[in-house]
Structure 1
């Protein structure tokens, strides 16, 4: 591959999500990163017709299609700061503010009734966590709590709403599920698996009048599906004792008879159906790859996920590290899926392989890794850590990884403790000691990559976004001899300063993870902050920060850079106009270009600043 061929991956829109329209599951919403910003359209797989949604606001993230597929719902936040109002943007006509009477809020849940009668949203403000039922231009409050509450869902006929709550367990992110009557906000039922095992709502039955709710439970320590009727209390748990790892529920078939599930074991995805009447797991035939991307704390249940289409058709969304989004369709009775949306203009790349690495205390870690074409020994390497921390690298499409590989660098991405889909103990492994276990995992990955002869020990660069940016900065200060440089994107550099400036939704989460407010857990905030270790940093640092970010705010990044410079460190601080998740291929390609230039400078012994 020529040295600039990696740029070709950014010359066409890159699909980020494909989501069915609730009231017409023939139709799909396609959300893509365009050259400068997000692009959203409504697509009919049967006819190929595509309708573009015009005049969207900048920085659109996690859009959701309306029931009829004629509009999309997005948080309009002006500057990317994730605080604003939910608006409806039609394929034709004028956009509408759906909550004009409410103060600005952060959105942490949204769902649309299949019959189009209602929308439910979970919002966060200084006053707490609130569930609203939207009909027309009216917003009716159904629930409010000072304790964390996320992930709003609504039944097919709009009669019931659910929200994941922590009132039973304040300050600890192990949810129960509460179901309410949308007509008056009356609590109809709650379901909890006790103080240790969280429950999450996934989706109400798509059948009108059917109150059953698909849940994800962790009674065994690993995710399993359950179907619960809040009106009768009846519950069916899919135990699947023959499967190790997690069995993650994604969707119901449109007749309410089957569930779509993904088995995740060691990070590898295998798709199943579950026949509710027969009580039987059915393996789905498919090529290898990633079939959903988990997200535990945003406006939608998963950033993207495979789902059912009409007539029980399975619509498999698939990615691989070297292959962009495609949709495969599998009709009932068919043996093999067929492609209905193939990626266009695919630039040849290198797939990542999954390996197991053992951390300091014996914990097994999953690492995705690849060497550049033709490499016969140790080469410079990029070690990436994902954000979250409650996310995971699923081995999905990652054009930045392919850019590094094309330029002669090896590449690895680590699922450290805190990652999801590896069980509750692994996901909660960082609680109360934020940064400590994760850095043990980073060091274990580094040593494995060096011992295996993949990475040149003098030329390992670390990179990550958000919590991954935090771990990048923390590693440079606490493991200063391991890295030749660090690229931190929208990074958290100081917990106390960040806590003072971040939006309330994140404050509640970090109080739980760090052990309280800054004044009550002062020592933990200090020990977990990269700012504490600036004088130990030896490698050059790039910090790329959003000017209006409310998750990892600007002030703490500026103070980190100032203190690192004062200590003699080599640091570049770059700001972009936006929030936490800018969308646009041009900006991503520019970021990669800068990082490639800086990595080569470091290898030549040149300063970055």
Structure 2
């Protein structure tokens, strides 16, 4: 148990949380039927993730789709071209995997989006109810999974830390513990011959910069260790797919950005790969282990390359125009990937060994309508140039309302990808500004880590620099700027209207951190570990720093309307700390605020919920600006 903040208000059941003013859901956003149909179609059109296949049965695939109106797990048998929906749960399902033989499909069973649960399996073809997939593994938050032909490695996180277990799939014996620690850790990968298991861990106390360990699956003994010291993390990506080849592909940041190396933990030899590309890199092996499929992230776009491990030759793949999403190499050497841009919805494509690129599979029904392209903006910020993406409605002139949509994470980035939420704001006449503030990924380790010791206020200084630049060039009007975001972006939105009240006309905060001390107490253990690494300690150790970073501290400074959207079962930004903030707003008695509560976790997988939440956001912003 974690101690509650001494100043925390009473529990929600004691203070009638439903007394807060509820934000209305407009019946429609637009009087024009064409606009109304377009924005709804961008959400309700059937979407699907790139199908992942079983290693030894590549005709068997699993993917996530909203075809039923809720994001659920589906399977596709390419041999028969048959599709089947696997799960049907009130709050949806988003995590699934296939064992090498493809005989079963595994999915993570939580409760109403709370992310706490266990893996279950059921036949690929259906006909039987799901059963627990790994005997002897208790409920917890997922901390990695790798299903081998013989062994399965599964990680579980609870308030007690992380446990990693190995189960012999040929035995009825329960899974055995091979790793347990109070600090954050997770499953990395099993070697092709399944004699080795790579994990990442933060026994040194910094989950944001993990170290690597390779264990022998036979007895859990340590085979190899790799650590780059303070402030330099390592991530295990994949073992070579060739049996007996124990090379592990690793992502490192020894030169201030994410790059690649190959490490053999048995011989303890490593080779850094000299790939001369700006930006950051992530990769996976080609099926024969001779080359890597490299995803290159730079300037809010991702491209694909083939890197020959023998010659060092680097060749860009002729993928379709746009920003590449996920990608993987099939056994026949073809590359399957997703591609989209701000203007063009995502397609699932295949690039054959002969260089021919085509659409692999299209979801049923009509494609969602497109939107407007982004333009790149670079502003001088206190920590260096700040990159932002700006999307404007066609024909927009001076004085158009603007919404600064701040991404979550914080270790993530806005990219030139299709987003129905962005498109809705544009459809509603808003200039959309997305800022890759310090803390964002894709701009080097120093940029990502610059928020350490002062999170929140550091990012907002970069947002202010972009805002000033766009006001100066006439892109946005100083008095018509709304700050908006979800998760970490929602946190920044609340912090912004408390610490920068003169800059904003309204705030829209989805599933935010609102009271950082209470959030730390209630959030899932992985996030407590993250926060301790980000701040340099816990709220008990650094009370002043947490107070400075908490939106609750600045409630009395807020002068504009505020909308908060909150998930009742959210383990990342829990509901109690949001209620604390809402109670503080209510106690003022002089500020307009509204709340929209939904029965899910950290966002909703239900299309109707998504429509209602976006409509609520846009309607609130319009009313706050006097435009609706």
* TM-score computed with the length of structure 2 as normaliser: 0.89
Deviation, structure 1 residue 199: 1.1
Q: Larger Rg: 1 or 2?
A: 2
Tell me which residue corresponds to 1:442. 463
- Is 1:156 paired with 2:177? no
* Alignment partner of 1:211 is 2:211: no
Counterpart of 1:301 in structure 2 is none
Kindly tell me: are residues 570 and 438 of structure 1, through their superposed partners in 2, closer, same or farther at Cα, counting changes over 3 Å?
same
**More off after superposition, 443-452 vs 394-403:** 443-452
Q: Sort the Cα spacing of 1:24 and 1:377 in 2 relative to 1 into closer, same or farther, 3 A.
A: farther
Give the superposition deviation at 1:55: 4.2
Q: Alpha carbons of 1:231 and 1:198: their partners in 2 closer, same or farther (altered >3 Å)?
A: same
Q: Which residue of 2 aligns with 1:221?
A: 256
Range 24-33 or range 307-316, more displaced: 24-33
The answer to which of 178-187 and 146-155 deviates more is 146-155
Aligned pair partner of 2:608 in 586, 605, 608: 586
Aligned to 2:213: 178
The unaligned stretches of length 5 or more in structure 1 are 293-304
Which shows bigger deviation, 262-271 or 58-67? 58-67
Among 545, 552, 572, the residue aligned to 1:524: 545
The offset of 1:56, in angstroms, is 5.2
Taking the TM superposition and a 5 Å limit, the aligned residue runs for 1:98-247 are 98-113=133-148, 116-136=149-169, 138-167=174-203, 169-171=204-206, 173-240=208-275, 242-247=276-281
Give the equivalent residue in structure 1 for 2:568. Answer: 547
Q: 1:340 aligns with which of 344, 357, 360?
A: 360
CA distance in 1, matches of 2:290, 2:450: 36
Matches of 1:28 and 1:444, distance apart in 2: 46
Deviations 1:239-268 (A, max 9, x none): 22x32221222x211111111112222222
Aligned to 1:72: 105
- Residue 339 of structure 2 aligns to a residue whose secondary structure is strand
User: Given that residues 330 and 337 in structure 1 are in contact (C-alpha distance below 8 angstroms), is that contact kept between their aligned partners in structure 2?
Assistant: yes
Structure 1: distance between partners of 2:610 and 2:489: 17
Q: SS at 1:456's partner residue?
A: coil
Deviates more, 1:338-347 or 1:581-590: 338-347
Change (3 A) 1:311 1:389: same
What is the DSSP-based 3-state SS (H/G/I as helix, E as strand, rest coil) of the residue aligned with 2:58?
strand
Whether 1:307 and 2:307 are equivalent positions in the alignment is no
Tell me the equivalent position of 2:386: 365
Aligned equivalents of 1:27, 1:274: Cα separation in 2: 28
Which of 515, 535, 540 is equivalent to 2:556? 535
Distance 1:485 1:100, change over 3 A: farther
Deviations 1:187-218 (A, max 9, x none): 11112233332110111222233222111111
2:596 matched residue in structure 1? 574
Question: Residues 221 and 284 (structure 1 numbering): CA distance in 2 closer, same or farther, change over 3 Å?
Answer: same
Q: Could you say which residue in structure 1 is the equivalent of 2:301?
A: 268
1:378-527 equivalences in 2 (<5 Å): 378-527=399-548
For 1:475 and 1:377, the matched residues in 2 are separated by 24
2:313 is matched with which residue? 280
TM-score with structure 1 setting the length = 0.92
Mapped partners of 1:559, 1:39: distance in 2: 33
Aligned length: 588
Return 230-239 or 491-500, whichever deviates more. Answer: 230-239
Q: Deviations over 1:392-431 (max 9, x none)?
A: 2222221011111112111121211111121111111111
1:53 to 73, 77, 86: 86
2:517 is paired with a residue whose SS is helix
Higher RCO (CA 8 Å, separation ≥ 6 residues) = 2
Flag the 1:84–1:345 CA change in 2: closer, same or farther, 3 A. same
* In structure 2, distance between residues paired with 1:62 and 1:336: 31
Alignment check: 8 A CA contact 1:57 1:78 kept: no
Pick closer, same or farther for the CA change 1:586–1:487 going to 2, 3 Å: same
Report the CA distance between 1:95 and its aligned residue: 0.5
The Cα of 1:489 is off from its aligned counterpart by: 0.9
Greater strand percent: which structure? Answer: 1
Mapped contact 1:325–1:342 kept (Cα < 8 A): no
Q: Aligned partners of 1:77, 1:539: CA distance in 2, in Å?
A: 38
Q: Secondary structure at the match of 1:323?
A: coil
Residue 353 of structure 1: aligned partner: 374
Counterpart position of 2:623:
601
Change in Cα spacing, 1:225 to 1:494, as seen in structure 2 (3 Å) is same
Aligned-residue offset at 1:439: 0.6
Does the C-alpha gap of structure 1 residues 314 and 365 become closer, same or farther in structure 2, counting only changes over 3 Å? Answer: same
3-state secondary structure, aligned to 1:104: coil
Deviation at 1:504, TM superposition (A): 1.4
**Partners in 1 of 2:505 and 2:186 — Cα distance?**
40
Report the Cα offset of residue 522 of structure 1. Answer: 0.1
For 2:563 and 2:133, locate their aligned partners in 1 and report how far apart those are by CA, in whole Å.
40
What is the DSSP-based 3-state SS (H/G/I as helix, E as strand, rest coil) of the residue aligned with 2:540? coil
CA distance in 1, matches of 2:54, 2:393: 41
Mapped partners of 1:26, 1:252: distance in 2 = 20
Distance 1:26 1:275 in 2: 27
Give per-residue Cα distances to partners, 1:17-36, cap 9 Å, x unaligned.
53333333344322123454
Change (3 A) 1:368 1:62: farther
1:298 alignment counterpart = none
Give the distance between the partners of 2:194 and 2:487, measured in 1 at CA: 36
Secondary structure class of the residue paired with 1:164: strand
Distance of 1:507 and 1:22 partners within structure 2: 35
Give 1:225 shift: 1.6
Aligned to 1:297: none
Tell whether the 8 Å contact from 1:269 to 1:288 is kept in structure 2 after alignment: no
Partner Cα distance (1:151, 1:449) in 2? 44
Aligned to 1:300: none
Q: Are the aligned partners of 2:345 and 2:418 in contact in 1 as well (CA < 8 Å)?
A: yes
Determine if contact 2:207/2:529 at 8 Å carries over to the other structure.
no
Instruction: Quote the residue 2:71 is aligned against.
Output: 38
CA contact (8 A) 1:222 1:424 kept: yes
Deviations 1:296-333 (A, max 9, x none): xxxxxxxxx2111122211122122233332222222x
